[in-house]
């Protein structure tokens, strides 16, 4: 499964760039649907929400209503503030609800529009995020928490201690890699810059997975069958239905109404819509057919998902940049005023 997303993405990109601007959505689906796997998990987990890092976990159904509005503003400080815990908490030490699979194509579509301000008036978008940026102590705490959850499950023996010390060090390095940068505020960035910042952060997350992969496999191999069973736990099905919902929610009408594009610009916007649709399908195809049964398989599945999102973000960013460069200064200013509606996001979440 890990190697399948790249050919899919290439097909999607070629379709997006080769087709006339006036091509219909039906034609796009006809071209893209043959080589792509459609979403199997249609029970939507909820919109792409940003869990407030450091707060207790709660069941997803409890946050769909009240939490959706806050989620709409979570990009104002940094993209995916709880990234380390979501990736490695999901893969290596799952505990209750986890936000990893709620991130996907919807994040990329949402980045096109200016994030709505959180209803509580805060500017960070997630508790503690701004203060933890490039904070080595915070990164160490994150790594210590994940390591403790792993160790509590398997209780390493003295003979296993060396491998687990290496894993602990790798987790710390991975956390520092993810949180080492301080991206500019999404609220002030132009749409192409928001997508670039997302792709850069996803790349750091992917590198973090690579940092941990080998030490974790080495530690995993030292475990007894009973320890592996305790660590692996019961497989949970990833909920990725929101990926396709994101494509259906492309804000083409809102963009057209705001910028009043001319004929050439309209063609560029149509190409952007087609590209986004194809990349949304490729991200959806990275969702596993079946729940990964081991911690190592979950880590690989997370890496696959990040790969697909990085590629999609880069491709959409190029198409969006072409559109944005074609706009006049007045049109760009109007484009920048477009915001996602926190109220609409909350209502959409409650409907699901």
Segment 111-126 shows an average pLDDT of 49
Q: Partners of 339 in the beta sheet?
A: 114
- How much is the pLDDT for 92? 95
Distance between CA atoms of 132 and 29, rounded to whole angstroms? 43
Taking residue 157's Cβ as centre, other Cβ atoms within 10 Å add up to: 12
Under a CB-based contact definition with an 8 Å cutoff, are residues 180 and 217 in contact?
Answer: no
Quick one: pLDDT band at residue 323, thresholds 50, 70, 90?
very high
For residue 126, pLDDT over 60 is answered with no
Quick one: pLDDT band at residue 187, thresholds 50, 70, 90?
low
Q: Partners of 114 in the beta sheet?
A: 339
Residue 288 exposed, middle or buried by CB count within 10 Å (0-12, 13-18, 19+): buried
Distance between CA atoms of 332 and 215, rounded to whole angstroms? 47
**What would the pLDDT profile of 225-252 be if each residue is shown by its tens digit?**
999 999 998 877 787 777 777 767 788 8
Q: Which domain holds residue 265?
A: 5-351
Segment 108-136 shows an average pLDDT of 54
288 φ, ψ (degrees, to nearest 5): -60, 145
**What would the pLDDT profile of 56-115 be if each residue is shown by its tens digit?**
333 332 222 223 323 333 444 678 888 999 999 999 988 766 789 989 988 888 887 765
Phi-psi domain of 121 (left: phi exceeds 0; alpha: psi -120 through 50; beta: other): left
Of 106-110, 188-192, 345-349, the range with the lowest mean pLDDT is 345-349
- How much is the pLDDT for 183? 58
For residue 295, pLDDT over 50 is answered with yes
- Total domains present in the chain: 1
Nearest in space to 176 (alpha carbons), one of 91, 262, 83: 83
Q: Which is more confident, 312 or 14?
A: 312
Pseudo-torsion of CA 25, 26, 28, 32, nearest 10°?
A: 130
Distance between CA atoms of 55 and 223, rounded to whole angstroms? 31
331 φ, ψ (degrees, to nearest 5): -65, -40
* Percent of the chain predicted with pLDDT > 90: 41
Average pLDDT, the chain: 73
Tokens standing for residue 156: 């390493």
């Amino acid at each position: 499964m890990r190697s399948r997303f790249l050919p899919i993405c290439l097909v999607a990109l070629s379709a997006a760039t080769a087709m006339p601007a006036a091509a219909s959505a039906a034609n796009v689906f006809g071209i893209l649907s043959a080589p792509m796997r459609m979403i199997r998990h249609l029970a939507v987990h909820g919109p792409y929400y940003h869990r407030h890092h450091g707060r207790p976990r709660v069941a997803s159904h409890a946050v769909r209503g009240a939490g959706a509005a806050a989620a709409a503003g979570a990009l104002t400080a940094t993209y995916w503030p709880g990234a380390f815990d979501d990736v490695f908490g999901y893969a290596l030490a799952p505990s209750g609800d986890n936000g990893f699979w709620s991130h996907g194509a919807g994040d990329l579509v949402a980045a096109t529009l200016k994030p709505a301000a959180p209803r509580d008036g805060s500017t960070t978008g997630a508790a503690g995020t701004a203060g933890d940026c490039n904070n080595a102590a915070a990164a160490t705490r994150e790594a210590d928490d994940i390591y403790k959850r792993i160790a509590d499950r398997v209780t390493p023996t003295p003979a296993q201690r060396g491998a687990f010390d290496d894993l602990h060090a790798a987790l710390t390095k991975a956390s520092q890699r993810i949180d080492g940068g301080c991206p500019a505020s999404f609220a002030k960035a132009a749409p192409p810059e928001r997508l670039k910042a997302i792709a850069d952060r996803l790349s750091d997350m992917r590198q973090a997975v690579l940092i941990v992969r080998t030490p974790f496999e080495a530690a995993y191999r030292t475990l007894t069958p009973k320890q592996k069973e305790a660590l692996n736990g019961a497989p949970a099905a990833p909920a990725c239905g929101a990926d396709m919902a994101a494509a259906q929610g492309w804000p083409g009408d809102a963009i057209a109404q705001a910028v009043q594009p001319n004929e050439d610009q309209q063609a560029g916007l149509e190409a952007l819509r087609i590209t986004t649709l194809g990349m949304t399908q490729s991200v959806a195809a990275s969702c596993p057919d079946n729940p990964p049964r081991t911690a190592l398989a979950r880590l690989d599945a997370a890496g696959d998902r990040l790969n697909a999102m990085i590629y999609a973000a880069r491709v959409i960013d190029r198409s969006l940049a072409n559109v944005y460069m074609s706009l006049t200064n007045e049109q760009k200013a109007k484009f920048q005023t477009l915001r996602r509606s926190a109220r609409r996001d909350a209502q959409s979440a409650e409907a699901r």
